[in-house]
Structure 1
Amino acid sequence: MRRTSPLAVTSLVCGLLGWSLLPWLGSLVAVITGHLARAEIRRTPELDGDGMAVAGLVLGYVQFAATLVGIAVLLLFFGGLVWLGTAS
C-alpha cells in the first residue's frame, strides 16, 4: 500500500490557509513544501500525493499572482488620482 507524503498534505493545507487565515505565509509554505513533496515523491516510489502537492503549488502561486495584480491595480488607481489632482 502506498502512503501519502506528509509534505504534500502540508502543501495543500497551507495553500488553503493562504487563501483564508495566513495570506502570504501560508502561500509561501505551500510553494516550498509543494516543491519538496514533488521531489520526494519522484525519489521514493512508494509515496503518493503528487496531486495534492500540485494543488498546493497552484494555490500558493495563484495567491502570489493575485497579490501582485492587486498591488498593481492599487498603484495605478491611486497614481491616476494623483495625476488627476495635479493636472487641474
Structure 2
Amino acid sequence: MATPGTLGMVERAAALTRAGFTAKQALHVINAVSTFVIGHTLAEDHRERFDLAVEALLSGLAPRTPAAGTTARTRTGRRSSGRRPRPPAG
C-alpha cells in the first residue's frame, strides 16, 4: 500500500536520478542521509555540529558515472574516476 511517506521517497529518488544518479545510488543516498539525520537526532547533538557534518556529507555525494577512461568532477570540484578509493593495505 502506498503511503505519503512512500510517495515522498519515490519522488526524492526520482529527483536524484534526474540529477544523474542511478536508481541504486539514489536509494543509497536517501538511506545515508536519513540514517545520518536520525542518528544525530537520537544523539541530540548540537545544531552547529549537525550543520557542519551534514554539509560534509552532502558535499561528498555526487553521481559516479563518468565514461570509461575519463575523470569527472564531483560536487566539491575534486576529480573522480567514478571508483571508490581503495582502503589502505594492512
Specify if TM > 0.5.
no
Higher relative contact order (CA 8 A, sep 6+): 1
Question: Which has a greater percent of helix?
Answer: 1
- TM-score normalised by L of structure 2: 0.29
| Normalised TM-score (structure 1) | 0.30
Which structure is larger by alpha-carbon Rg, 1 or 2? Answer: 1
